Amino acid sequence: MIDPKMAYYQCVLARVQGKRIQVHTAWIPVKFARKKAVLKLKTAKGWENGWVVEIVGQGRNVGVGDDVWRTFRGRLKQK
């Protein structure tokens, strides 16, 4: 869950899964958004280990931005 009071960087993460490379873009809290850091991400299936931060976005988005947060929260309420 995204905390609207925390600062995030948009990051590109990758991990090797068998013979495939998975790539994922995610908002990561600033304290974890370090290039080559290995992270564990929570997904609908549970926790996935081995995600490596390949690119850390240059812009810092405090609270992910009110507009993005409102849109995201609005979509959750519609379900």
* pLDDT of res. 73: 54
Q: pTM here?
A: 0.68
E-only strand ranges, 1-79: 7-17, 20-29, 38-43, 46-62
Please write the tens of the pLDDT for every residue from 4-57: 677 888 899 999 888 888 998 888 888 999 999 999 998 888 999 999 999 998
* pLDDT of res. 2: 65
* pLDDT value at 72 more than 90: no
* pLDDT of res. 66: 53
